[in-house]
Amino acid sequence: MFQTSLRRLLGGMALVSTLSLTGCGYNDFQRLDEQSQSGWSEVLNQYQRRADLIPNIVATVKGEANFEQETLTKVVEARAKATSIQVTPETLKDPEAMKKFQAAQGELSSALSRLLVVSENYPNLKANQGFADLRVQLEGTENRITVARNRYIKTVQDYNVLARSFPTNLTAMVMGYKPKANFSVANEAAISAALQSAKRYRRTQCCIPDQPALGT
């Protein structure tokens, strides 16, 4: 009889505890954690897409005589550094790991931006259709990176607010949920600006027939 009563008491306490956790953000923590992990995977996929474009860009630029070798070298080195750093969902709680990842991607963005700016000084390269196609692909990839990164940032912000706010912070303490390291990559604004400049240049290169002189 005593054991039966004890089991019922413990069962009731477990039920109350479960209901309390549910009412204090437990389900929200689970949802946002899943979203952050899938969001981070998408960020990595888009960064990898960009990295995969670079060898073709470099190979095309190498075909241009007298192109700045230092610019090409920095792009190759920055790509090697960026792709060597792996940040998994399990290590996203480490701010230092996130900073290291950010720095590497920022260096790659800066190197690519420099390459695009320098390429404007080479008419033959600008007229190269293969290079133009690669720039369009790079532009699209940068846009996808921005979208994926912003979604991830928003999800992590929501998660961290939940982890720090009362009363859901009590659930975080009980369950061991820690705030996640977030990131923003300001340096990538440079490559976006360079890509926009390239788009404007392409528009000016469209074949526009000469206008007839007035009175003729």
Task: Please write the tens of the pLDDT for every residue from 32-77.
Answer: 999 999 999 999 999 999 999 999 999 999 888 788 899 999 999 9
Q: Is 169 helix (H, G, I), strand (E, B) or coil?
A: helix
Residues near 199 by Cβ (< 8 Å), separated by ≥ 6?
Answer: 139
Q: Two tokens at 11?
A: 């069962």
Please give the pLDDT value at position 215.
42
Please give the pLDDT value at position 214.
39
**C-alpha pair distances (Å), 155 with each of 29, 40, 67, 201:** 11, 10, 43, 37
The structure tokens 């929501």 sit at 158
Q: Which residue has the higher pLDDT, 45 or 18?
A: 45
Please give the pLDDT value at position 189.
56
Please give the pLDDT value at position 197.
56
**CA 97 to mean position of chain CA atoms:** 15
Query: pTM for the whole thing?
Result: 0.75
The pLDDT confidence band at residue 3, using thresholds 50, 70 and 90, is low
Half-sphere exposure of 65 (CA within 13 A, CB side): 1
Please give the pLDDT value at position 5.
47
Q: Return d(Cα 187, Cα 87) in angstroms, integer.
A: 19
Cα four-point dihedral sign 76, 77, 79, 80: positive
pLDDT in tens, 85-111: 887 766 677 888 888 898 899 899 999
Please give the pLDDT value at position 188.
53
Cα four-point dihedral sign 41, 43, 46, 47: negative
Residues near 179 by Cβ (< 8 Å), separated by ≥ 6?
Answer: 93, 159, 160, 163, 164
Q: Two tokens at 101?
A: 């990842």
pLDDT in tens, 118-168: 999 999 998 999 999 999 999 999 999 989 999 999 999 999 999 999 999
